[in-house]
Every structure is written in structure tokens, then in C-alpha cells.
């Protein structure tokens, strides 16, 4: 689809409604304008939302991370105890001494 557009004295370009609809552009969409050898290229800009956390929310994250670290640490100790018990059992069955 082709359309003729005009640049205002302030540099504003208005895309015709049919062209915006055909391309799926909505109000306040960000576009990237790029000069190419063929002319001007307009394409949608990919934007990602930025999350800003309150100090309260940051404390909640810190608490959750501490809980996770504690849980992992306790699992690690339990796993180490199981490995040690298993090593003692193997040593006993094989007739070797386990430290």
C-alpha cells in the first residue's frame, strides 16, 4: 500500500488512517525511522516495560531469596548426611573403615 504524506513546518508526519490500520499501528506506538539507500524506512520499535519496585517489594524479594537459600542449604546438609550414611554402609559391607 502506498500513501502520500506531508511533513509539517514542525517536522510532523501524519500517516493516513488506512495505512496505519493496514500496518496495525495504534496511537502512541513507537516507530524507528531509518534512512536507507531506497529512502525512509519506518518500522515498529520493540519496547520492553521497565519494572520499578518499591522498597517494600524489594524487601519481599530479599526475604524470598533468603528463604530459598536456607531451604537449599538444609537440603544440601541433608544430602551430605545421606551420602555420609551411604558411605559408612558401603564401607561396613566392604570391610573397610570409613573416617
C-alpha distances out from residue 7 to 37, 47, 83, Å? 20, 26, 75
- Give percent of the chain above pLDDT 70: 77
User: What does the pLDDT average to over 65-73?
Assistant: 84
Question: What pLDDT is attached to residue 94?
Answer: 62
pLDDT of the residue at 60: 93
User: How confident is the model over 78-91, as a mean pLDDT?
Assistant: 66
Q: Is residue 1 within 8 Å of 15, Cβ to Cβ? A: no
- The mean of the pLDDT values for the chain is 83
Q: Is the pLDDT of residue 69 over 60?
A: yes
Within 13 Å of residue 72, how many CA atoms lie on the same side as its CB?
A: 6
- Structural domain boundaries in the chain: 1-48, 50-99
Hey, what CATH class is 1-48 in? mainly beta
**pLDDT tens string 18-54:** 999 999 999 999 999 999 999 999 999 988 888 888 9
d(CA 30, CA 28): 6
Amino acid at each position: 500500500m502506498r500513501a502520500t504524506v506531508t511533513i509539517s513546518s514542525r517536522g510532523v508526519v501524519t500517516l493516513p488512517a488506512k495505512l496505519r490500520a493496514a500496518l496495525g499501528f495504534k496511537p502512541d506506538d513507537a516507530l524507528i525511522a531509518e534512512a536507507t539507500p531506497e529512502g525512509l524506512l519506518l518500522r515498529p520499535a520493540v519496547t520492553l516495560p521497565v519494572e520499578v519496585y518499591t522498597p517494600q517489594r524489594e524487601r519481599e524479594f530479599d526475604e524470598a531469596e533468603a528463604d530459598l537459600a536456607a531451604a537449599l542449604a538444609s537440603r544440601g546438609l541433608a544430602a551430605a548426611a545421606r551420602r555420609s550414611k551411604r558411605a559408612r554402609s558401603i564401607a561396613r559391607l566392604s570391610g573397610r573403615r570409613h573416617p
